[in-house]
Homo-oligomer: A and B are copies of this chain.
C-alpha cells in the first residue's frame, strides 16, 4: 500500500481517526456512558453531572454530534440527546477491523 501526497491515507484510517478524536477527551467519554445508561438525556442533566461550564459541555456535545456518535432532538425549550445507532455501529465496525489487524497479531 504505497501512499502519495494526493492519496494520503485510506478512508478507513481517516474515519477511524476522526471517531477516535471524538473519544479523545474524558468528558466526551463520560457523556457517551451517561447517554448509554440513562438511554437518553436532557442536555441540562449532562451539564449538571460534568465539572465543566455549560458552554463547554455544549461544545463537546456538538463535536459528538458532528462526528455522528450522538443526536439531539428538540423537546420544547430543552434538548434531548441520545446515542446515534448508525455512528456507534460504524465505530464498532472500524474498531473490530483494527482489533483484527493490529491487536490480534500482538496479544
A residues with a Cβ closer than 8 A to B are 1-5, 8-10, 13-14, 16-18, 20-21, 23-30, 32-33, 35-37, 39, 49-51, 83, 85, 88-89, 91-92, 95, 98-99, 101-103, 105-107
Q: How far is the CB of A32 from chain B (nearest CB, A)?
A: 5
Q: Are B102 and A36 in contact (CB under 8 A)?
A: yes
Q: What are 16 residue pairs bridging A and B, where the CB atoms are less than 8 Å apart in the complex?
A: A1-B49, A3-B49, A3-B50, A4-B51, A9-B27, A9-B30, A13-B26, A14-B26, A16-B26, A17-B23, A17-B24, A20-B23, A32-B102, A83-B106, A88-B106, A92-B103
**Given A17-B24, A24-B24, CB of A29 within 8 Å of CB of B105:** no
